[in-house]
Amino acid sequence: MTHPIVAELGQMLPEGGLVTDPDRLAPRLLDARKRMQGQALCMALPGSTAEAAAIIARCRAHGVAVVPQGGNTSLVGGATPMRPDSVLLTSDRLNRIRQIDPVGYTATVEAGCILDDIRTAADQAGRLFPLWLGASGSARLGGLIGTNAGGLQVQRYGNTRDLVLGIEAVLPDGQVFNGLRALRKRNAGYDLKQLFIGAEGTLGFVTAATLRLFPAERGEATALVALPDVDAVLALFTAARESVGEVLTAFEMIDRHALALMARHYPVVPQPFAEIPPCSVLIALTGSESDTVLNERLAALLLDHGLEDAALAQDGKQTQALWRLRELIPSAQTKEGPSIKHDLALPISAIADFMAESTALLAARLPAAKPVVFGHVGDGNLHYNLSLPASEDFAAAEALANRLLFDLVAQYGGDISAEHGIGRLRIAAADAWHDPVERALMQQLKQLFDPAGLFNPGVLVADAKAPRTPPTSGD
């Protein structure tokens, strides 16, 4: 017995607009970290905003859940349908670049466009779309907006929120919110588009956005710098902002354990230091100046700061090699064995103290776990991952690690997620660690937009009516 919504959508949608074949559905029902096996009645693929609105209106009429999905790259299960009566709503066919405006420095793009394709289209118009992250080849714009994606160039260009000027979305009741503006400045009402950014598809289905573009970069300079400790990392960050702030594009910390994992699992990627330093920083300058000028400015920064142990990339190949040292860390950690992943947000000036205290705490309470810490220190965002021997009880270790780290991060004024989001994986943790006034407001907003609770249920916002549960191993 198939649900009547399936036949109805089949009649309504054109060829290619509906998938029911279990083999084609399967990869879209398993989350990217392979921790959650979802289920759905079917997958609907609207080809236009009007089709998306019609699908959503029908699902609402049937009381069927709608789960938006982009490139299925969520690390927190934010796009995996779990209720059997779900329609998976994907943006695959909403893949048009509607307009590139090189004078206004904007691009209007549909939600199903893959990030690399948006970057390429901007580049062909002599412009830069600066969002750049590990999943650039598969993440789609709708998902990037839903998670307010960050990535590797936030220091210079901001998060996705900072890059979105306008949004078009279908609301849970099937109405179209037309906020597709190309305005750099507007002060004429509540900025409603902000609600859809970082909402993980719980308030509506984003169909298109108008994005900010930037001038194409003419030059770059990249270095990996060896530093004795996290205090030295922060001192260099402060100096870098002062001396080259406007061309400082990336400032990525890599700890000793991360480079050690790279040496073990990716010996082919050259490491510039004779001995692995306690901390390294990958620092990148880009901008309208030439490679030569930027290299001189970077060298002057390091010299003024008394830093001699640094590898400055001499050409594009060396630049790529330095970036590979940073980008392959998650993969090296996967090769090493099980790991507990965290994506912590911290005030930048608290990072050194937090690192010292958390390292001591974990050594005392969870000695089997080895912290491998890297990430966007210039954005106050640490990927604080714990490698665990296969013999350990993963669920118990994860529950303990979460409790220890989330308590500590809260003490330092941080938060449990900087860029990965809450999804399903962290929903109980968010519910437990967040302020009750804020939690209540979130639930009321959710209720306002989606009174039937049919839009990505079980993601981001804990059900107001359900009893509050303490966070368990899944958090």
**Binders of its own copies in range 91-120 (CB under 8 A):** 101-106
The residues with which 210 forms a beta bridge, in sequence order, are: 108, 166
Q: How many CB atoms lie within 10 A of CB 393?
A: 12
164, 210 in Cβ contact below 8 A?
A: yes
Q: Which residues in the 407-436 window bind its own copies by CB under 8 A?
A: 413-422, 426, 430, 434-435
The reply to whether 451 sits near its own copies by the rule CB under 8 A is: no
The reply to whether 460 sits near its own copies by the rule CB under 8 A is: yes
> Which of residues 1 and 437 has its CB atom nearest to its own copies in the complex?
437
208, 266 in Cβ contact below 8 A?
A: no
Rounded distance, CA 214 to CA 105, Å? 6
Q: In angstroms, what is the minimal distance from the CB of 243 to its own copies?
A: 6
Residue with tokens 């009321």: 444
The reply to whether 197 sits near its own copies by the rule CB under 8 A is: yes
Name 389's Cβ contacts closer than 8 Å, sequence gap at least 6.
337, 338, 368
Q: In angstroms, what is the minimal distance from the CB of 188 to its own copies?
A: 4
> Which of residues 216 and 360 has its CB atom nearest to its own copies in the complex?
216
Q: Which residues in the 130-189 window bind its own copies by CB under 8 A?
A: 147-148, 150, 154, 158-159, 161-162, 171, 175-179, 181-189
Number of residues that bind its own copies (CB under 8 A): 87
> Which of residues 240 and 362 has its CB atom nearest to its own copies in the complex?
240
Report helix, strand or coil for 127. Answer: strand
Q: Which residues in the 60-79 window bind its own copies by CB under 8 A?
A: none
Sign of the Cα pseudo-torsion (322, 326, 328, 332, in order): positive
Q: In angstroms, what is the minimal distance from the CB of 133 to its own copies?
A: 12
Report helix, strand or coil for 249. Answer: strand
User: Residue from 111, 442, 454, 459 that binds its own copies (CB under 8 A)?
Assistant: 442
The reply to whether 363 sits near its own copies by the rule CB under 8 A is: no
> Which of residues 96 and 161 has its CB atom nearest to its own copies in the complex?
161
Q: Which residues in the 225-264 window bind its own copies by CB under 8 A?
A: 234, 237-238, 241-247
User: Residue from 437, 465, 466, 467 that binds its own copies (CB under 8 A)?
Assistant: 437
Rounded distance, CA 141 to CA 130, Å? 13
Report helix, strand or coil for 283. Answer: strand
The reply to whether 466 sits near its own copies by the rule CB under 8 A is: no
Rounded distance, CA 143 to CA 70, Å? 5
Residue with tokens 């700061």: 305
Candidates 143, 125, 285; CA nearest to 214 is 125
Q: In angstroms, what is the minimal distance from the CB of 180 to its own copies?
A: 9
Q: In angstroms, what is the minimal distance from the CB of 471 to its own copies?
A: 14
User: Residue from 32, 284, 346, 397 that binds its own copies (CB under 8 A)?
Assistant: 346
> Which of residues 126 and 137 has its CB atom nearest to its own copies in the complex?
126
Q: In angstroms, what is the minimal distance from the CB of 347 to its own copies?
A: 4
Q: In angstroms, what is the minimal distance from the CB of 335 to its own copies?
A: 27
Q: Which residues in the 13-32 window bind its own copies by CB under 8 A?
A: none
Rounded distance, CA 324 to CA 330, Å? 11
Report helix, strand or coil for 219. Answer: strand
The reply to whether 441 sits near its own copies by the rule CB under 8 A is: yes
Q: In angstroms, what is the minimal distance from the CB of 297 to its own copies?
A: 9
Q: In angstroms, what is the minimal distance from the CB of 2 to its own copies?
A: 33
The reply to whether 376 sits near its own copies by the rule CB under 8 A is: yes
> Which of residues 261 and 401 has its CB atom nearest to its own copies in the complex?
401
- Which backbone phi and psi does 374 adopt, to 5 degrees? -155, 170
Report the relative pairing of strands 214-215 and 127-128 from DSSP bridges.
antiparallel
- For the record, the structure tokens of 212 come out as 């900010």
- The 3-state DSSP composition of the chain as helix, strand, coil percent (nearest 5) reads 40, 20, 40
The reply to whether 194 sits near its own copies by the rule CB under 8 A is: yes
Q: Which residues in the 266-295 window bind its own copies by CB under 8 A?
A: 287-288
Instruction: Kindly list the distances between the CA atom of residue 346 and the CA atoms of 25, 263, 375, 381, 442, in Å, as whole numbers in the listed order.
Output: 38, 28, 12, 6, 22
Candidates 55, 52, 43; CA nearest to 87 is 43
> Which of residues 11 and 187 has its CB atom nearest to its own copies in the complex?
187
Q: In angstroms, what is the minimal distance from the CB of 379 to its own copies?
A: 5
The reply to whether 379 sits near its own copies by the rule CB under 8 A is: yes
